[in-house]
């Protein structure tokens, strides 16, 4: 792996690795913070303007659709223009898109601007994860992945308080988002010599990459589903069982805080243990969390610890799978594998809320729990089947013939 005009990975100093990591964490933090702030902000603005629910949903989905499209296109795009230029373009497009939202406050303009924002998020996301995996060694890859996911979670955690502080009216929230995005260019410029060039998709394409490690991709899909339904429907679920809105939002904050704090310990576990057993454990404990939720909501002594640790488990599958991704895909495949990983995750964030909305209509309010449990059960089934397939392939592998004994030549007597 060569950097863009810079040293190869093996020659990076500890200081250069730290500079790279700061740039990576800054880019993913800003991309996630923009998404976390803009989604509720623009929904409130559209509702105040009298836009129908259908058009609000379509407008919100535009950003996610752009992320889906550009995650798979990013490896080819970066190969053509260079990774550093692609990152600078992503920051510029996101800055422009957010800055123009209050200038052109029309539904049609926001479709275009949100598509541009989604494209920028996708490039920062795919390049950031690939870059992170190229600078991490196998001994610390899990911890590095934990820091990465913690930065994403911290952005979600801080997005709501910042939005409360700026308010949802006027230009203040847009100014904060625009300035934050533009500031990302500073660490990226400082690390410009260290930005890696991304490889091209192999001849087998994304399908081959998916079939090779289905447990990793299942982790991305399940995590996307669960993150999507918790963000969209957790407050609705607890509200329908009698929790006040202010307390519901604080519960979401505790879940997000657990997701931030626990990712580094999860990453340390991923450095010491095999990925599939850890993913299976995460699925089991996540199911237990969903099932226990209605039993502990009325008991503060149990409610807050459960929400905190359950929140940590929500991001744990992503941390573990991201570390597995870096270990199991070759350097030349890493960009395409990360793009596929991000695509599958984003697909989960779209499918999960749609399924949960339908489930709530059928079984209110526990349709939310049902979707979470089913998603985890399917994820667990893929992990178990993958583990059995690997064991079977090892058992079928032919044993290497034992080496012939070495016979020492007899020395002549006398």
The answer to whether position 304 is within a domain reads yes
Domain match, 183 and 222 both: no
Domain match, 268 and 178 both: no
Q: What is the pLDDT of residues 328-384, one digit of tens each?
A: 887 678 888 888 998 999 899 888 888 888 888 888 888 999 999 999 999 999 999
Domain match, 170 and 208 both: no
Domain match, 91 and 237 both: no
Instruction: Compute the C-alpha angle 275/277/279, nearest 5°.
Output: 65
DSSP letter, residue 169: S
CATH of the domain at 362: 1.20.1250.20
Domain match, 185 and 296 both: no
Place of tokens 């299976």: 280
- Rounded Cα gap, residues 134 and 366, in angstroms: 42
Domain match, 107 and 209 both: no
Domain match, 316 and 373 both: yes
Name the domain boundary from 147, 173, 198.
198
The answer to whether position 412 is within a domain reads no
Name the domain boundary from 198, 221, 240.
198
β-pair partners for 8: 2
The answer to whether position 4 is within a domain reads no
Domain match, 167 and 208 both: no
Domain match, 309 and 188 both: no
Domain match, 283 and 353 both: yes
Peptide bond just before 365 cis, omega within 30 deg? yes
Q: What is the pTM of this model?
A: 0.80
Domain match, 188 and 207 both: no
User: Which domain does 146 fall in, by range?
Assistant: 9-198
The pLDDT value given to residue 339: 86
Name the domain boundary from 181, 198, 215.
198
Concatenating the DSSP letter of every residue in 128-153 gives HHHHHHHH--TTTHHHHHHHHHHHHH
The pLDDT value given to residue 2: 39
- Rounded Cα gap, residues 129 and 141, in angstroms: 12
The answer to whether position 129 is within a domain reads yes
Domains of the chain: total? 2
The answer to whether position 367 is within a domain reads yes
The answer to whether position 319 is within a domain reads yes
The answer to whether position 400 is within a domain reads no
> What Å distances lie between residue 380 and 221, 259, 309, 373, 385, CA to CA?
12, 20, 19, 10, 9
Residues of the chain short of pLDDT 70, as ranges, are: 1-11, 198-204, 331, 387-414
The answer to whether position 406 is within a domain reads no
- Rounded Cα gap, residues 400 and 381, in angstroms: 33
Domain match, 209 and 173 both: no
Distance of CA 391 to the CA centre of its chain: 29
């Amino acid at each position: 792996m060569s950097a863009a005009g810079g040293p190869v990975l093996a020659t990076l100093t500890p200081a250069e690795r730290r500079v790279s990591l700061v740039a990576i964490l800054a880019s993913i933090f800003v991309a996630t913070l923009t998404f976390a702030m803009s989604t509720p902000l623009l929904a409130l603005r559209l509702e105040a303007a009298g836009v129908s629910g259908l058009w609000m949903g379509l407008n919100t989905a535009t950003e996610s659709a752009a992320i889906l499209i550009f995650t798979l296109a990013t490896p080819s795009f970066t190969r053509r223009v260079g990774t550093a230029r692609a990152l600078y373009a992503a920051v510029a497009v996101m800055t422009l898109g957010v800055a123009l939202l209050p200038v052109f406050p029309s539904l049609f303009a926001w479709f275009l601007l949100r598509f541009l924002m989604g494209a920028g998020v996708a490039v920062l996301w795919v390049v950031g994860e690939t870059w992170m995996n190229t600078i991490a060694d196998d001994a610390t890859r899990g911890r590095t992945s934990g820091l990465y996911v913690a930065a994403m979670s911290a952005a979600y955690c801080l997005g709501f308080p910042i939005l409360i502080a700026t308010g949802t009216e006027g230009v203040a929230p847009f100014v904060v988002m625009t300035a934050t995005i533009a500031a990302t260019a500073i660490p990226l410029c400082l690390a410009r010599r260290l930005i890696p060039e991304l490889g091209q998709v192999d001849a087998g394409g994304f399908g081959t990459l998916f079939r090779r490690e289905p447990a990793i991709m299942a982790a991305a899909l399940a995590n996307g589903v669960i993150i999507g339904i918790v963000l969209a429907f957790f407050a609705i679920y607890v509200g329908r069982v009698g929790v006040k809105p202010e307390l519901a939002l604080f519960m979401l904050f505790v879940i997000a805080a657990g997701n931030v704090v626990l990712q580094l310990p999860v990453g340390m576990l991923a450095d010491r243990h095999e990925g599939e057993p850890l993913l299976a454990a995460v699925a089991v404990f996540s199911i237990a969390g969903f099932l226990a939720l209605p039993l502990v909501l009325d008991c503060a002594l149990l409610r807050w610890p459960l929400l905190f640790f359950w929140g940590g488990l929500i991001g744990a599958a992503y941390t573990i799978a991201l570390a597995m991704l870096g270990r199991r895909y070759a350097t030349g495949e890493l960009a395409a594998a990360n793009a596929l990983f991000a695509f599958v995750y984003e697909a989960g964030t779209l499918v999960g809320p749609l399924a949960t909305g339908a489930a709530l209509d059928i079984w209110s309010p526990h349709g939310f729990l049902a979707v979470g449990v089913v998603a985890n059960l399917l994820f667990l089934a893929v992990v178990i089947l993958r583990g059995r397939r690997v064991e079977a392939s090892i058992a079928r592998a032919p044993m290497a013939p034992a080496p012939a004994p070495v016979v020492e030549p007899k020395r002549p007597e006398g």
